[in-house]
Structure 1
Amino acid sequence: MSEMQSARRGRPGYDQQGILAVAVAAFNEYGYDATSIGMLAERLGLSKSAIYHHFGSKDEILDRALDSALSSLEAVVEEPTAGASSAADRLEQVLRGAVHVLVDQLPAVTLLLRVRGNTEVERTALSRRRTFDRRITALVTAAQDEGALRDDIDASVASRLTFGMINSIVEWYRPGGREGADRLADDVVAIALDGLRKR
């Protein structure tokens, strides 16, 4: 049988990343609990066993997707501070990096922001999110201590409001629209940090 005939029979030879992308789209569309392996197999044109060849369970698929989003966000906080001489500069870099992660990994981050802790995988992801949030709050506190940001706003409130704005990107941003990631990051930094900077 030729490759063309095989493709027509609905067996496109998805690799792990391809299966993951289709699964994340389905989880976002129907919800994780309502999406079955059978539904994924139908969407992919594969057998369930073909999916299980790549992933041991639906939980493993979820874990891989959430880990991808979280690892990218964590890397933004951990990457070297090129040109950042202050906590405020570092905070700006982190905000810009987070916007890029949301734009680059929109489906996976959307999924991350929708988890509620119903499974062990989700609880682990939420724990990592809380650790990330604490690191952002610590960065805001350091920038306040430097005198770069106003200190009449609680650091945890400032970081939650700022990331609430960034996280809202998943609800309305469409790739290929008027603003790319760089311009969007400029807008986020202007709105978030101009309101927080000391006058």
Structure 2
Amino acid sequence: MPTVKRDTYTPDSLLSVAVRVFNERGYDGTSMEHLSKAAGISKSSIYHHVRGKEELLHRAISRALDSLFAVLDEPAACEGRAVARLEHVTRRTVEVLMAELPYVTLLLRVRGNTDTEVWAMGRRREFDQRVAELVKQAAADGDLRADVDARLATRLLFGMINSVAEWYRPDRAASGHGADGGDTSAEVAEAVVRTAFAGLRTH
């Protein structure tokens, strides 16, 4: 397992290492000893910056959530027909997931076992609900099929988006391996939008 050298150690590099270890071992299966070994620093050095591993979890999940909620405030997510706004949010959510892959992956894996995880799940539900409102509005406008329940459509949409975290590998994208995981974020985002809305749009 690669380590972070002492002379390049920063709070950001510690967070990056912690997220990698959380994703590899699971949050519950990670100890401060695991984190100190992976970061190449002492546990006391970690405690100099954070109170413990749950603070690292909170910082990591906050980074993912802040990036996702920022999408909802973009002009294209706030103006125009609901269906166009929904397509924009879908496209940008995929792009954020790919840009912040380790952090969003960690967010998707929380199960509510700690106060931070309960908070994160609540924030995820809030994000999902705001997207669901766009789905409902687009359906009311006649732009989405009326025979598909809005709640089900929202779940299917997020299912497609979140599945990207299971197979996308940034290193393969950088090496240009194409269909086996090397597509760019723009290509993947466009594919998700085209595939999802081909089945949801009324025209």
Fold match (TM-score > 0.5):
yes
Matching of residue 125 in structure 1 with residue 125 in structure 2:
no
CA distance in 2, matches of 1:145, 1:47: 57
- Over the aligned positions, Cα root-mean-square deviation in angstroms equals 1.4
Corresponding position of 1:147: 142
Residue 60 of structure 1: which of 27, 39, 55 is its match?
A: 55
| Residues 1:62 and 1:21: Cα distance change in structure 2 (over 3 Å) | same
State the match for 1:158 in structure 2.
Answer: 153
Residue 63 (structure 2) pairs with residue 87 (structure 1):
no
Q: Deviations over 1:82-106 (max 9, x none)?
A: 7952100000110011011110010
Gaps of 5+ in 2: none
Shift of 1:160: 0.7
Of 22-31 and 84-93, deviating more is 84-93
Separation in 1, partners of 2:109, 2:21: 13
| Structure 1 residue aligned with 2:40 | 45
Distance in 2 (alpha carbons) for counterparts of 1:174 and 1:32:
21
Q: Find 1:192's aligned residue among 188, 196, 199.
A: 196
In structure 2, the partner of 1:105 is: 100
Aligned residues: 190
Q: Flag as ranges the 4+ runs of structure 1 deviating above 3 A.
A: none
- Per-residue deviation, residues 91-126 of structure 1 (Å, max 9, x unmatched): 011001101111001001111111000000000000
The equivalent position to 2:184 in structure 1, one of 177, 180, 184, is 180
In the alignment, residue 17 of structure 2 is paired with which amino acid?
Answer: V
Question: C-alpha distance in 2, partners of 1:82/1:123?
Answer: 27
What is the identity, as a one-letter code, of the residue corresponding to 1:118? N
**Contact 1:12–1:45 (CA under 8 A) maintained in structure 2:** no
Code of the residue aligned with 2:149 in structure 1: it is: D
Aligned AA (2:46) = I
The one-letter amino acid of 1:195's match is G
Once the two structures are TM-superposed, the CA of residue 47 in structure 1 deviates from its matched residue by 0.7
Provide closer, same or farther for how the CA distance between residues 113 and 83 of structure 1 changes in structure 2, counting only shifts above 3 A: closer
Pick one of 133, 138, 141 that aligns with 1:138. Answer: 133
- Name which of structure 1's ranges 140-149 and 173-182 shifts more when overlaid on structure 2: 173-182
